[in-house]
């Protein structure tokens, strides 16, 4: 969506008809509305929200301009109207919302109906066609549940940077990135499958009923295990965060600092070594899978010895084919041309070979086995060295991990035995949290095992159910419907998980990139993380979580970075409309945001005061401002007019 122009009539403090055009230029993509406090910036911002979504105006009775109402004779109609023209997907639309009321004798206005909303599509020949389902259409253009991520009050967007903001962050990502569509599709398809299963159960009996009940039970058990994992992961993440806090405190305490730093170093080494171990194990696995013959080297040697022995004893051919000997005897001539006559020693010798030789088929098999054994032996020689080296490394890494863990235990012992009560107590708690995490990991693993088992059992049961159903030749369609709905639900769920993870990683990377551009202390902040639990975190140069220490301005910048990252990743074609964007920001942040933000969105609309936009911020924006307006308030008639700045 790109905004074209707005027309406001008798809306709040805007008396008469006021018009403004938004800049749609790709380079000069900023439209600025400049006004002092109380001049109508927020009213204009509300007008856009109200016109598109009917939202943003808390008190509908106050929408009609008071001066217009005063001038209207009693008993006559007066109305507030906002018309917004915009383009989307190559088409032009005009959205219009109107609230009408009748002036009473006492001077008040009685609004008789709900505001009316129309959405017109403008065709290439200029003709306007009314859209029958305007709300539905608006939702395909820019859904109302994501509008707050595009049209927002700059001073109130720091909620993504607050502690425990994960629900808001998750909600935003799922809505802006439309992952909610997948979530809903999965739930509704599962519901359809469950309803059909119930229907089939009622229509079935005996074996099929039992199978269906078992399948139902297995699905419930799987669901319970999934829920249990989510609960355990939440508890585990909470314990992890508490350990981070304790370690931070230990670093601050003089008497514990060195031991904690020592632990940091050991943990870093441990992490590296565990990674090395994983790589070595992976290499061994790859070698043994790719060159599986290596694990059969002893068997190959034994097979070779058996063949050699049998060949020595003449039990199997030594490479001379039976047919070849028979041909020589029949032709009565050797390959060198010498005659072979019956009774000659050469004839007797060939007869002997023929007697000892075996059938053609076995002969072929023996020869093929010989060739295969040769290939395997040659191949194994090179691979064996590679495998031996990887095995040696695995032993080294395992030993090193054991040593490092023992060093970590030693640090823990020293801290637990500290004469300073706080340190001993902190370390005790840390140990408890660590044990909790271990317990949670075990429990999670157990649950995952249950899920795998249930998946296998369900797959088997699904087959059995389909077979039982086919045997009865009844309810075939119902069975297929269940299968189709469930398969579709499972497919959507799988994709939902994969896409969710993909999107989370993309937003994390993009937020970091934008935050580094926008924040003025970029070297102080090392990283932005958006964990699987959707916790948005800032990591400082010491590798520690810094979100609790962010200033109000930095929180605003973090939220803005996150919103912009979502918009970029979602490729949503929509403007960013910001009311009081820089009010709370220091001059450094104003400068960096005005320098970078215009390049991150296709269209930017700002409602600002003179104070918000001066010096470097104004200089930065100047080159990208396509349209600028001043909001002039006339106290004599309590109304605002919009004037284009020259």
Partner 1 sequence: MLGSAMQEKVLALFKDYDPSVKAVIAEVLALEQEHLSMKNPRGVVEKIEEIVERIAKNETR
Instruction: Tell me which residues touch partner 1 (CB under 8 A).
Output: 89, 135-136, 138-140, 143-145, 177-178, 180-182, 184-185, 188-189, 191-192, 195, 476-477, 480-481, 484-485, 487-488, 491-492, 494-495, 498-499, 502-503, 569-572
Hey, CA dihedral for 273, 506, 185, 479, is it positive or negative?
negative
Q: Please classify residue 127 by burial: count the beta carbons closer than 10 Å to its beta carbon, then call 0-12 exposed, 13-18 middle and 19+ buried.
A: exposed
Residue 299's contacts (CB-CB under 8 Å, 6 or more residues apart) are none
Between 530 and 608, name the residue whose CB sits nearer to partner 1. 530
Q: What is the DSSP letter of 101?
A: E
C-alpha 33/C-alpha 581 separation (Å) is: 12
Query: Closest separation between CB of residue 566 and partner 1, Å?
Result: 11
C-alpha 140/C-alpha 123 separation (Å) is: 19
Query: Closest separation between CB of residue 139 and partner 1, Å?
Result: 4
Between 289 and 477, name the residue whose CB sits nearer to partner 1. 477
Between 188 and 282, name the residue whose CB sits nearer to partner 1. 188
Query: Closest separation between CB of residue 62 and partner 1, Å?
Result: 26
Between 189 and 287, name the residue whose CB sits nearer to partner 1. 189
Between 97 and 481, name the residue whose CB sits nearer to partner 1. 481
Give φ, ψ of 255 to 5 degrees.
-75, -15
Between 156 and 184, name the residue whose CB sits nearer to partner 1. 184
Query: Closest separation between CB of residue 428 and partner 1, Å?
Result: 47
Q: In the 3-class helix/strand/coil scheme, how is 364-397 assigned residue by residue?
A: HHHHHHHHHHHHHHHHHHHHHHHHHHHHHHHHHH
| Cα-based distances in Å from 521 to 9, 516, 518, 526 | 45, 8, 9, 10
Query: Closest separation between CB of residue 91 and partner 1, Å?
Result: 13
Between 315 and 502, name the residue whose CB sits nearer to partner 1. 502
Give φ, ψ of 162 to 5 degrees.
-80, 155
Question: Side by side, which strands form the sheet with 625-634?
Answer: 151-153, 576-579, 604-608, 30-34, 625-634, 639-644
Two tokens, residue 204: 């079935």
Q: Give the β-pairing of 30-34 and 604-608.
A: parallel
Query: Closest separation between CB of residue 194 and partner 1, Å?
Result: 11
Query: Closest separation between CB of residue 197 and partner 1, Å?
Result: 13
Between 144 and 369, name the residue whose CB sits nearer to partner 1. 144
Between 354 and 495, name the residue whose CB sits nearer to partner 1. 495
Query: Closest separation between CB of residue 499 and partner 1, Å?
Result: 6
Query: Closest separation between CB of residue 567 and partner 1, Å?
Result: 10
Between 191 and 205, name the residue whose CB sits nearer to partner 1. 191
CB 146 within 8 A of CB 55: no
CB 316 within 8 A of CB 366: yes
| Cα-based distances in Å from 50 to 8, 97, 117, 180, 283 | 11, 8, 10, 25, 61
Query: Closest separation between CB of residue 495 and partner 1, Å?
Result: 5
Q: Give the β-pairing of 91-103 and 116-122.
A: antiparallel
Query: Closest separation between CB of residue 556 and partner 1, Å?
Result: 26
Between 416 and 483, name the residue whose CB sits nearer to partner 1. 483
Using the structure block, give the residue that is written with the tokens 């962010």.
550
70: number of Cβ within 10 Å? 13
Query: Closest separation between CB of residue 477 and partner 1, Å?
Result: 6
Dmax (CA) for the chain in angstroms is 144
Query: Closest separation between CB of residue 227 and partner 1, Å?
Result: 22
Between 128 and 181, name the residue whose CB sits nearer to partner 1. 181
Between 6 and 569, name the residue whose CB sits nearer to partner 1. 569
C-alpha 310/C-alpha 273 separation (Å) is: 51
Between 135 and 645, name the residue whose CB sits nearer to partner 1. 135
C-alpha 615/C-alpha 283 separation (Å) is: 60
52: number of Cβ within 10 Å? 24
Query: Closest separation between CB of residue 191 and partner 1, Å?
Result: 6
Query: Closest separation between CB of residue 572 and partner 1, Å?
Result: 7
Two tokens, residue 269: 């080494």
Two tokens, residue 634: 């006339």
Between 364 and 498, name the residue whose CB sits nearer to partner 1. 498
CB 23 within 8 A of CB 627: yes
Query: Closest separation between CB of residue 398 and partner 1, Å?
Result: 38
Between 111 and 139, name the residue whose CB sits nearer to partner 1. 139
CB 504 within 8 A of CB 532: yes
C-alpha 246/C-alpha 425 separation (Å) is: 10
| Cα-based distances in Å from 286 to 71, 272, 293, 294, 295 | 85, 21, 13, 12, 13
Q: In the 3-class helix/strand/coil scheme, how is 561-601 assigned residue by residue?
A: HHHHHHHHHHCCCCCEEEECCCCCCCHHHHHHHHHHHHHHC
């Amino acid at each position: 969506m790109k905004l074209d122009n707005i027309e406001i009539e008798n809306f709040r403090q805007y008396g008469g008809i006021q018009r403004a055009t938004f800049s749609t230029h790709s380079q000069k993509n900023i439209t600025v509305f400049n006004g002092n406090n109380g001049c109508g910036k927020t009213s204009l911002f509300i007008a856009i929200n109200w016109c598109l979504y009917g939202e943003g105006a808390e008190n509908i009775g106050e929408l009609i301009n008071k001066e217009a109402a005063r001038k209207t004779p009693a008993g006559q109609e007066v109305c507030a109207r906002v018309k917004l023209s915009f383009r989307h997907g190559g088409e032009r639309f005009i959205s219009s919302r109107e609230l009408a009321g009748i002036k009473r004798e006492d001077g008040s206005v009685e609004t008789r109906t709900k505001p009316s909303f129309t959405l017109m599509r403008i065709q290439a020949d200029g003709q306007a066609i009314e859209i029958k389902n305007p709300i539905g259409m608006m939702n395909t253009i820019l859904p109302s549940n994501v509008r707050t991520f595009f049209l927002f009050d700059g001073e109130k967007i720091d909620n993504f940077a607050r502690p425990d903001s994960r629900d808001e962050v998750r909600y935003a990502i799922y809505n802006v990135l439309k992952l909610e569509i997948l979530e809903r599709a999965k739930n509704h398809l599962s519901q359809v499958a469950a309803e059909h299963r119930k229907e089939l159960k009622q229509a079935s009996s005996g074996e099929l009923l039992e199978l269906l009940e078992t399948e139902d039970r297995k699905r419930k058990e799987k669901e319970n295990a999934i829920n249990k994992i989510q609960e355990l992961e939440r508890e585990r993440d909470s314990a992890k965060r508490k350990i981070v806090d304790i370690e931070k405190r230990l670093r601050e305490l003089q008497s514990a600092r060195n031991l904690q730093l020592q632990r940091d170093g050991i943990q870093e080494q441990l992490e590296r070594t565990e990674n090395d171990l994983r790589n070595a194990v992976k290499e061994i696995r790859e070698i043994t899978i790719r060159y599986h013959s290596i694990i059969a080297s002893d068997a190959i040697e034994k097979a070779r010895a058996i063949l050699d022995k049998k060949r020595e004893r003449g039990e199997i051919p030594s490479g001379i084919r039976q047919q070849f000997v028979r041909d020589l005897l029949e032709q009565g001539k050797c390959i060198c041309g010498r005659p072979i006559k019956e009774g000659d020693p050469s004839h007797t010798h060939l007869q002997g070979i023929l007697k000892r030789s075996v059938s053609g088929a076995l002969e072929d098999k023996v020869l093929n086995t010989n060739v295969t054994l040769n290939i395997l032996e040659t191949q194994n020689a090179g691979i064996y060295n590679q495998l031996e080296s990887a095995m040696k490394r695995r032993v080294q890494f395992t030993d090193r991990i054991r040593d490092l863990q023992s060093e970590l235990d030693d640090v823990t012992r020293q801290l637990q035995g500290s004469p300073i009560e706080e340190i001993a107590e902190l370390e005790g708690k840390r140990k408890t949290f660590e044990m909790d995490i271990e317990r949670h990991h075990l429990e999670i693993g157990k649950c995952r095992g249950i899920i795998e088992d249930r998946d296998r059992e369900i797959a088997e049961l699904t087959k059995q159910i389909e077979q039982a159903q086919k045997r009865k030749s009844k309810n075939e369609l119902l069975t297929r419907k269940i299968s189709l709905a469930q398969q579709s639900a499972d497919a959507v769920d799988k994709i939902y998980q994969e896409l969710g993870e993909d999107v989370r990683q993309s937003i994390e990377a993009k937020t970091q990139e934008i935050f580094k551009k926008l924040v003025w202390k970029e070297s102080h902040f090392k990283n932005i993380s958006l964990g699987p639990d959707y916790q948005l975190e800032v990591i400082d140069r010491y590798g520690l979580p810094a979100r609790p220490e962010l200033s109000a301005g930095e929180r605003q910048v973090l939220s803005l970075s996150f919103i912009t990252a979502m918009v970029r990743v979602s490729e949503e074609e929509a403007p960013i409309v910001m009311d009081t964007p820089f009010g709370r920001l220091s001059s450094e942040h104003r400068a960096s945001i005005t320098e970078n933000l215009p390049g991150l969105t296709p269209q930017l609309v700002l409602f600002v005061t003179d104070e918000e936009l001066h010096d470097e911020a104004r200089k930065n924006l100047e080159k990208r401002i396509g349209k600028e307006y001043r909001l002039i308030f006339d106290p004599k008639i309590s109304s605002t007019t919009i004037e284009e700045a020259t």
